[in-house]
Amino acid sequence: MKLYLLDSHGDPVWVAIEEICLISPTMKGPAFTAKNGHVYTYPHTMEQLVRHFEDYGFRRLDRNAIANLNAAKEYDPVQRKLVFDAQGEEGNGEMLYATVSVANEAKVKHMIVREYGDPSSAYSAA
């Protein structure tokens, strides 16, 4: 098994679990020390997380969330919500979504399912 960690320069790397000798707590999360003495960490800032996961379809859509665009179903431009599951878990009616800041709308504009005229006009999830 390999872990996707950050090296001392903040670059993402794959590290074999067999190479890890010690995991120790730090104020910024666990530090993973390898047999060769290199210390690795988990990403802990939004910038590091985006860099870490962007190759897998994740994008930062506002200051609070990084969303997997590959898992999204549609984008509601009126409410600026990227919807993942319109039915909610087990059909409970609660929609799973991420909000999208105005500055990041271009990243999801291609996911508008229904638009009436201008993409900024009314949207129906019917």
What string of pLDDT tens digits covers the 126 residues of the chain? 999 899 999 888 999 999 999 999 998 889 999 999 999 998 888 988 898 889 899 999 999 889 999 999 888 899 999 988 756 555 566 778 999 999 989 899 888 875 434 444 444 343
As a whole number of angstroms, the distance between CA 51 and CA 102 comes to 21
Does pTM top 0.75 for this prediction?
no
Round to whole Å and give the CA distance between 2 and 14.
6
Closest-CA residue to 66 (of 88, 44, 86): 44
Quick one: which of 68, 102, 103 has its CA closest to 83? 68
